[in-house]
């Protein structure tokens, strides 16, 4: 698949995500828009997966540690064939399996339950370590937010991944520079991430996390050490009035804003 | 009864745990041990020497330890995540909730040196909240074996059970009470002694004390039923209701806070199904003073004599209701 094709799929996912947020009246749209290019590259190009066999032992593992962008994950999984796309319309409705945070016992393709931050990376370390112990050939990917890196459990996991020599683990930090309440730099500024991860013994790549031509090769990159991709992204990517605006962490567009956003995302389809 | 009895033979239940773990490890290469620099205190030295690669030591990092355990299970392994119960349950409570219980990960959590086993090290190292913290979580059986026989049987059962389990072990020596070959049945109490005057319910390090209290009561003509209730969740409601109806009074004892543990779990059933006078013995909602586990249990009214006295007080309350 060419970067242009992936871009087209990412736009479709953005549009469906926007529509579902608007209809449900809730969601975390800013961080969803920043992460959708990465999710698209993973699910439509990079991951070795069998949507009809979501528990296939040799599947590559993906952990969405920033579980609050579950909707973008659901839209991606549905589009890839893990469950019917029509089910997206049940997002957040009573008894829907599409909860505000992903549930691995209900939604095919979800590996572990996330939501509280700082959980995905330790679990991903365990997955990668298991492959080392069993000789399985799968690769483990985990996507965290940049604000999420403030959780200390991540740094426990980063240290252990290096100690265990997990060259089958890729951490992607969605570095959109904003957390729920303010900019990362005004809160607890862990940036720059690259030097910190390198100091822990990781191989580090910095990319434009909204550019397919950079995302795909970075995800496919292998090294002798665990690999961290610092993905420089934009919160609200693709929708002009949301971009880099902290309030769009979980704001819901009104009718007029929705119309503008749909039109912007449709232009390039 | 002999006038001079032989000294009681005491067992450290960690030995029974690792004996079964090493046997399982030999039979099944998927069995792995995960620990937080606790190779010595979890007695994992033997496992490590046999299968060094299958001993996953994450260092002093309990949150990571529990998350790694969930990931190892996702990768098809059978992890036993071992650490001092105070740190395992307290430090990584949210990981246990989200990564293990809610995710229904096939991980066996083994809380070592639970209760006040660390004695003089003080309340930071006491784990007298773990029943309360663990039993509130769905999907997570909570088990505190009373002796080395039940420990071995419970570990064996946990390995074969598909889903998360919390095993609460001590390091304080206890005598064997159950019969060799005992098969562990989760959610089922063992009636160790029959009686109809009052029921003593205990688990872990308190079961043998309850048996001794029942002996003292028998010498005074009071026949107490003794239930060993290793499983705190799911609780054996049937045995509790039968005890309430048939004996009319229930005394519980545990190496745990009186809030939220075994006694609370029993009381939840008693209040709803068969109200009778009850007394809950445990740590009375304070940070314990300096002392060994054995000293502190006595201090908090759980010597066999004090337990017998508490049972007699209950009998008086039961009588006054008649």
The stretch B278-294 carries a mean pLDDT of 97
pLDDT at A221 over 90: yes
pLDDT at A166 over 90: yes
Inspect the interface and report whether the beta carbons of A130 and B77 lie closer than 8 Å.
yes
Percent of chain B exceeding pLDDT 90 equals 96
The stretch A76-87 carries a mean pLDDT of 98
Q: What is the ipTM of this complex?
A: 0.96
Q: Is A125 on the interface with B (CB under 8 A)?
A: yes
Q: Is A57 on the interface with B (CB under 8 A)?
A: yes
pLDDT at A71 over 80: yes
Q: A119-128, A244-253, B55-64, B160-169: lowest mean pLDDT where?
A: A244-253
pLDDT at B279 over 80: yes
The three-state DSSP-derived secondary structure of chain B is: CCCCCCCCCCECHHHHHHHHHHHHHHHCCCEEEEECCCCCCCCCHHHHHHCHHHEEECCCCHHHHHHHHHHHHHCCCEEEEEEEHHHHHHHCHHHHHHHHHHCCCCCEEEEECCECCCHHHCCCCCECCHHHHHHCCCCCCEECCCCHHHHHHHHHHHHHCCCCEEEECCCCCECCCCCCCCCCCCCCCEEEECCCCEEEEECHHHHHHHHHHHHHHHHCCCCEEEEECCEEECCCHHHHHHHHHHHCCEEEEEEEECCCCHHHHHHHHHHHHCCCCEEEEEECCCCCCCCCHHHHHHHCCCCHHHHHHHHHHHHHHHHHHC
Superfamily per CATH, domain A3-267: Thiamin diphosphate (ThDP)-binding fold, Pyr/PP domains (3.40.50.970)
Locate the chain B residue with the closest alpha carbon to A157. B64
CATH topology for the B13-168 domain: Rossmann fold (3.40.50)
**pLDDT recorded at residue A2:** 83
Greater confidence, A51 or B7? A51
Q: Where are the domains of chain B?
A: 13-168, 190-321
**pLDDT recorded at residue B4:** 60
Per the prediction, chain B carries an average pLDDT of: 96
pLDDT at B137 over 90: yes
What does the pLDDT look like over B180-211, one tens digit per residue? 999 999 999 999 999 999 999 999 999 999 99
What does the pLDDT look like over A170-180, one tens digit per residue? 999 999 999 99
pLDDT at A204 over 90: yes
Per DSSP, what are the bridge partners of residue A231? A174, A207
Q: How far is B300 from chain A (nearest CA, A)?
A: 37
**Where do the DSSP E strands lie in A40-121?**
61-64
- Per CB-CB distance under 8 Å, the chain A contacts of B79 are 126
State yes or no: is B62 an active-site residue.
yes
Q: A33-47, A96-110, A240-254: lowest mean pLDDT where?
A: A240-254
pLDDT at B13 over 50: yes
Using alpha carbons, select from B109, B193, B98, B94 the residue that is nearest to residue B144. Answer: B109
The stretch A48-59 carries a mean pLDDT of 98
Residues of B with CB under 8 A from a CB of A: 30, 32, 53-54, 56, 58-59, 61, 63-64, 66-77, 79, 94-95, 98-99, 102-105
Q: How far is B68 from chain A (nearest CA, A)?
A: 4
Q: Where are the domains of chain A?
A: 3-267
**pLDDT recorded at residue A268:** 63
State the residue for tokens 């995960």. B34
What does the pLDDT look like over B80-132, one tens digit per residue? 999 999 999 999 999 999 999 999 999 999 999 999 999 999 999 999 999 99
The stretch A136-156 carries a mean pLDDT of 98
Q: Is A84 on the interface with B (CB under 8 A)?
A: no
Q: Report the C-alpha gap between A206 and A173 in whole angstroms.
A: 10
The stretch A219-242 carries a mean pLDDT of 97
What does the pLDDT look like over B221-268, one tens digit per residue? 999 999 999 999 999 999 999 999 999 999 999 999 999 999 999 999
Instruction: Please count the residue pairs, one from chain A and one from chain B, whose beta carbons lie less than 8 angstroms apart.
Output: 113
The stretch A105-128 carries a mean pLDDT of 98
CATH topology for the B190-321 domain: Rossmann fold (3.40.50)
The stretch A253-259 carries a mean pLDDT of 96
- Per CB-CB distance under 8 Å, the chain B contacts of A160 are 58-59, 61, 64, 68
- Choosing from B22, B62, B129, B255, the catalytic residue is B62
Predicted confidence band at A8 (pLDDT cuts at 50, 70, 90)?
Answer: very high
The stretch B4-29 carries a mean pLDDT of 93
**pLDDT recorded at residue B1:** 43
- The residue among A103, A125, A126, A154 with the most chain B CBs within 10 A of its CB, best to mutate, is A126
Inspect the interface and report whether the beta carbons of B71 and A112 lie closer than 8 Å.
yes
**pLDDT recorded at residue B2:** 44
């Amino acid at each position: 698949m060419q970067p242009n094709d992936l871009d087209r799929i990412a736009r479709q996912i953005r549009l469906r995500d926007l529509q579902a947020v608007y209809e449900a009246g809730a969601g975390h749209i800013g961080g969803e828009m920043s992460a959708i290019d990465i999710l698209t590259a993973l699910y439509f190009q990079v991951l070795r997966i069998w949507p009809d066999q979501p528990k296939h032992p040799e599947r590559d593992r993906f952990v969405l540690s920033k579980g609050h962008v579950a909707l973008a994950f659901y839209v991606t999984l549905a589009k890839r064939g893990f469950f019917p796309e029509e089910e997206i319309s049940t997002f957040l409705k009573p008894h829907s399996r599409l909860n505000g945070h992903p549930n691995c016992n209900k939604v095919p393709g979800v590996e572990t339950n996330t939501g509280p931050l700082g959980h995905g990376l330790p679990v991903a370390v365990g997955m990668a370590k298991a492959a080392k112990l069993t000789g399985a050939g799968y690769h483990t990917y985990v996507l965290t937010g940049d604000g999420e890196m403030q959780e200390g459990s991540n740094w426990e996991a980063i240290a252990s991944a290096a100690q265990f020599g997990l060259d089958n683990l890729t951490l992607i930090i969605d570095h959109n520079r904003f957390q729920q309440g303010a900019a990362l730099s005004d809160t607890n500024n862990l940036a720059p991430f690259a030097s910190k991860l390198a100091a822990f013994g990781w191989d580090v790549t910095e990319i434009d996390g909204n550019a397919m031509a950079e995302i795909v090769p970075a995800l496919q990159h292998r090294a002798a050490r665990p690999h961290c991709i610092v993905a420089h992204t934009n919160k609200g990517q693709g929708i002009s009035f949301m971009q880099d605006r902290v309030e769009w962490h979980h704001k819901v567009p009104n009718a007029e804003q929705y119309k503008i956003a749909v039109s912007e995302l449709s232009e390039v389809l | 009864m002999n006038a001079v009895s032989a000294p009681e033979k005491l067992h450290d239940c960690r030995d029974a745990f690792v004996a079964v773990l090493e046997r399982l490890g030999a039979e099944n290469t998927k069995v792995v041990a995960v620990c937080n620099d606790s190779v010595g205190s979890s007695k994992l030295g033997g496992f490590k020497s046999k299968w060094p690669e299958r001993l996953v030591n994450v260092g002093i990092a309990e949150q990571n330890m529990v998350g790694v355990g969930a990931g190892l299970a996702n990768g098809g392994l059978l992890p036993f995540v071992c650490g001092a119960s105070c740190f395992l349950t307290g430090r990584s409570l949210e990981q246990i909730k989200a990564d293990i219980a809610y995710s229904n990960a096939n991980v066996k959590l083994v809380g070592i040196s639970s209760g006040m086993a660390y004695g003089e090290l003080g309340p930071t190292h006491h784990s007298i909240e773990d029943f309360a913290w663990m039993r509130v979580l769905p999907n997570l059986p909570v088990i505190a074996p009373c002796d080395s026989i039940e420990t071995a049987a419970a570990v064996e059962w946990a390995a074969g059970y598909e889903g998360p389990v919390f095993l609460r072990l001590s390091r304080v020596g206890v005598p064997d009470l159950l019969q060799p070959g005992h098969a562990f049945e989760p959610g089922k109490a063992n009636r160790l002694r029959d009686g109809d005057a009052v029921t003593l319910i205990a688990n872990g390090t308190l079961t043998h004390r309850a048996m001794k209290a029942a002996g003292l009561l028998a010498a005074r003509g009071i026949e107490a039923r003794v239930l060993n209730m290793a499983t705190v969740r799911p609780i054996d409601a049937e045995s509790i209701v039968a005890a309430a109806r048939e004996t009319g009074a229930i005394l519980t004892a545990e190496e745990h806070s009186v809030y939220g543990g075994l006694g609370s779990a029993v009381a939840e059933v008693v209040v709803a199904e068969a109200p009778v006078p009850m007394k809950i013995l445990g740590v009375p909602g304070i940070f314990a003073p300096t002392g060994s586990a054995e000293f502190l249990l006595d201090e908090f009214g759980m010597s066999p004599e004090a337990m017998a006295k508490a049972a007699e007080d209950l009998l008086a309350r039961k009588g006054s209701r008649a």
